[in-house]
């Protein structure tokens, strides 16, 4: 199917991109907010390949496309271009989460380059040790100097690199942002800002600082640039924008960065480092134990990204960091706990997952160990936290540190050799204890093992099971039964999205009708998709136009990709508050209806969550 062609036809028939105020997708449909609905040609849209139905609801023009909606939506966006009001419906998040997400988006693209530089530094460290053993200083060799430059360049030119990634996040001009970063690293600028004499800009004294390898100043500068750029684009005539917007952006932002945002960024960075190292000075054992214990917990929530810049900044400024030494204790502990699961479990599938997760964790990738074994079984996770904390405390006591920002695994052990005999031995003993200690502790403490049949129901191993006989499905919600053709939403009532039935709920919760996997959970929580273990796929849509609540009055208890058992609560909602604004009729659709001979509907007036709602005939 040519998704781009379908997207082009839809765009043409709804008017053109100038007619679109906003567009998003919700499970099986595209939802257009149009300036002029009369321009949309309903009959021609219905004849378009892939279009199941066209519905006008709540002032929106909705094109029902079924399971192909995401691919068509992705093909549609480039054709529309930049529309400020285009956005997918998402729940509101706090300013703290927004900042955390922004930092993650800025740093994530450059982590591979930083990790590669760290690996190269580790190789060079081994080479130096070998050279010293043979009484040879390889640091004077041209080859070493070139490779050392390659390993250090990403840190030295960090403002330029972050200028680009921050511009992508804040939607500023990428190359203007990079020029600001390059200005901070320019050789004559570095010489000027590190000289002993006073530095002025139009007779205004500048705060002197070396911005090479800095992190926070350029991020703040690009954030402000994004607003300056948008302001300039509004006031400068179209014919002059291509020249004058970049020119005025630089004329405004270079002085502003050197006078205001640069010093602020430097002070913020110094303050964060001061707190970190103040705690380090009070008790390096406590700091090491804290990071070693909670690092992988922070990974679960993505919160570890908030403190990663400390390690990056330390390497950039001083050429060493201890943050990732302590984090290494956590990584090796996760590997050890997964290894303990491998020895202890009787489940073949879990044994395979634990074995592969152990290997990946030893190379610094802990997510398979965390989600595949340790967190899933709970006790191994606790063992890993305890052993990671003890190992981190030992490293803190020994003064362990690395000479590069390197992923914490077996390949980067040489990075920590430069710290000296005591510090390096404490690092080696620490990671050894973290691994073997958590492995042995997991085997001793044990865990509630997963039966073979349950383990096979993970997302990775779940496979579609074809029905061999007629099957009844109980209702996922208790309430009054309503025929699907009576639902006041044409997309459901027409059966275009699949056969099914509706229930007006009397209890504000949706439960799993059978053992199943949550295939989709919309951010506003008003709709979800589940796939039963017998292969039946259901769409449960709570109410009509309740997407407009943006998740208000809803609460979820599961996540997409999770396998759950019959009766597990999926979503709860406040009936009394929602029904004041919206029709709560809940549609239960068999999405893959075409695979079955017939679907019989419940004839009862009322159902509970233990009553049969649908019978699938094969």
Residues labelled catalytic? 26
Nearest of 428, 412, 427 to residue 124 by alpha carbon: 412
Taking the C-alpha atoms of residue 513 and residue 510, their distance in angstroms, rounded to an integer, is 9
Say what angle helices 323-344 and 379-398 make with each other, to 10 degrees: 150
The SS3 call for residue 99 is helix
Kindly provide the b/e burial profile for residues 308-341, where b requires at least 16 CB atoms within 10 angstroms of the residue's own CB: bbbbbbbbbbebbbbbbbbbbbbbbbbbbbbbbb
C-alpha pair distances (Å), 95 with each of 98, 100, 102, 262, 265: 5, 9, 10, 23, 19
Contacts of 122-129 spanning 24+ positions with Cβ under 8 A = 122/404, 122/406, 122/411, 122/412, 122/413, 122/414, 122/415, 123/414, 124/148, 124/151, 125/403, 125/414, 125/415, 125/417, 125/418, 126/414, 126/417, 129/414, 129/417
The answer to whether 48 and 22 are in contact (CB under 8 A) is no
The answer to whether 161 and 153 are in contact (CB under 8 A) is no
Kindly provide the b/e burial profile for residues 354-382, where b requires at least 16 CB atoms within 10 angstroms of the residue's own CB: bebbbebbbebbbebbbebbbbbbebbbb
Say what angle helices 308-318 and 323-344 make with each other, to 10 degrees: 130
Q: Which 8-state DSSP code applies to residue 141?
A: S
Taking the C-alpha atoms of residue 515 and residue 505, their distance in angstroms, rounded to an integer, is 22
C-alpha pair distances (Å), 382 with each of 285, 445, 539: 20, 10, 37
Which tokens sit at 535? Answer: 């292969």
Largest CA distance in the chain: 91
Q: Which 8-state DSSP code applies to residue 558?
A: -
C-alpha pair distances (Å), 22 with each of 60, 83, 224, 270, 462: 10, 7, 27, 43, 37
Kindly provide the b/e burial profile for residues 474-484, where b requires at least 16 CB atoms within 10 angstroms of the residue's own CB: bbbbbbebbeb
Q: Where are any strands of DSSP class E within 58-193?
A: 60-64
Q: Where are any strands of DSSP class E within 487-611?
A: 499-505, 509-511, 516-521, 527-532, 537-541, 554-556, 563-564, 569-573, 586-590, 598-601, 606-607
Give the list of residues 6+ apart from residue 270 with CB closer than 8 angstroms, or none: none
Phi, psi of 600 (to 5 degrees): -100, 140
């Amino acid at each position: 199917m040519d998704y781009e062609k379908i997207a082009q036809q839809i765009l043409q028939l709804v008017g053109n991109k100038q007619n679109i105020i906003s567009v998003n997708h919700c499970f099986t449909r595209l939802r257009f907010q149009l300036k002029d609905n009369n321009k949309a040609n309903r009959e021609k849209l219905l004849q378009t390949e892939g279009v199941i139905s066209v519905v006008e609801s709540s002032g929106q023009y909705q094109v029902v496309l079924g399971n192909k909606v995401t691919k068509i939506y992705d093909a549609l966006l480039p054709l529309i271009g930049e529309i400020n009001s285009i956005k997918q419906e998402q729940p509101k998040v706090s300013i703290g989460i927004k900042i955390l997400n922004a930092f993650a988006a800025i740093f994530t693209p450059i982590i591979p380059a930083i990790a590669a530089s760290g690996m190269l530094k580790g190789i060079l460290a081994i080479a130096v040790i070998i050279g010293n053993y043979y009484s040879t200083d390889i640091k004077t060799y041209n080859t070493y100097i070139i490779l050392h430059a390659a390993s250090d360049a990403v840190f030295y030119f960090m403002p330029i690199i972050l200028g680009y990634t921050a511009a992508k996040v804040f939607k500023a001009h990428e190359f203007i942002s990079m020029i600001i970063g390059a200005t901070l690293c320019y050789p004559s600028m570095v010489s000027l800002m590190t000289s002993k004499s006073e530095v002025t800009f139009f007779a205004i004294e500048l705060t002197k600082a070396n911005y090479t390898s800095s992190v926070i100043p350029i991020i703040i500068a690009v954030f402000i640039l994004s607003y300056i750029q948008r302001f300039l684009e509004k006031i400068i005539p179209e014919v002059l924008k291509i020249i004058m917007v970049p020119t005025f952006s630089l004329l405004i932002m270079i002085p502003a960065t050197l006078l205001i945002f640069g010093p602020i960024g430097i002070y913020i960075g110094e303050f964060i480092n001061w707190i970190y190292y103040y705690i380090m000075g009070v008790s390096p054992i406590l700091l090491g134990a804290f990071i070693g214990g909670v690092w992988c917990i922070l990974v679960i929530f993505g919160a570890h990204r908030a403190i990663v810049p400390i390690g990056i900044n330390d390497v950039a400024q001083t050429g060493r960091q201890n943050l990732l030494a302590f984090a290494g204790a956590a990584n090796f502990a996760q590997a050890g706990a997964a290894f303990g699961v491998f020895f202890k479990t009787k489940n073949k599938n879990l044994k395979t997952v634990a074995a592969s997760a152990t290997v990946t964790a030893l190379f610094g990738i802990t997510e398979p160990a965390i989600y595949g074994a340790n967190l899933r079984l709970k006790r191994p996770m606790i063992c890993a936290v305890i052993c990671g904390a003890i190992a981190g405390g030992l490293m803190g006591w020994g003064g362990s540190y690395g000479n590069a920002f390197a992923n914490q695994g077996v390949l980067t052990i040489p990075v920590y050799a430069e710290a000296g005999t005591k510090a390096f031995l404490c690092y080696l003993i620490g990671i050894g204890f973290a691994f073997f200690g958590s492995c042995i502790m997991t085997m001793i403490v044990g865990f509630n093992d997963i039966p073979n049949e349950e383990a096979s129901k993970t997302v990775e191993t779940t496979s579609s099971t074809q029905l061999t006989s007629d099957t009844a499905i109980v209702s996922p919600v208790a309430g009054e039964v309503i025929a699907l053709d009576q639902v006041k939403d044409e997309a459901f009532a027409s059966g275009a999205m699949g056969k099914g039935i509706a229930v007006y709920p009397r209890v504000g919760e949706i439960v799993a009708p059978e053992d199943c996997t949550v295939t989709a959970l919309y951010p506003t929580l008003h709709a979800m998709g589940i796939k039963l273990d017998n292969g039946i796929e259901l769409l449960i849509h709570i109410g009509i136009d309740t997407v407009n609540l943006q998740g208000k009055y809803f609460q979820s208890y599961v996540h997409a990709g999770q396998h759950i058992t019959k009766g597990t609560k999926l979503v709860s909602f406040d009936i009394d508050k929602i029904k004041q604004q919206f029709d709560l009729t809940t549609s239960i659709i068999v999405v893959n209806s075409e695979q079955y001979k017939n679907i019989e509907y419940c004839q009862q007036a009322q159902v509970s969550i233990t009553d049969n709602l649908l019978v699938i005939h094969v």
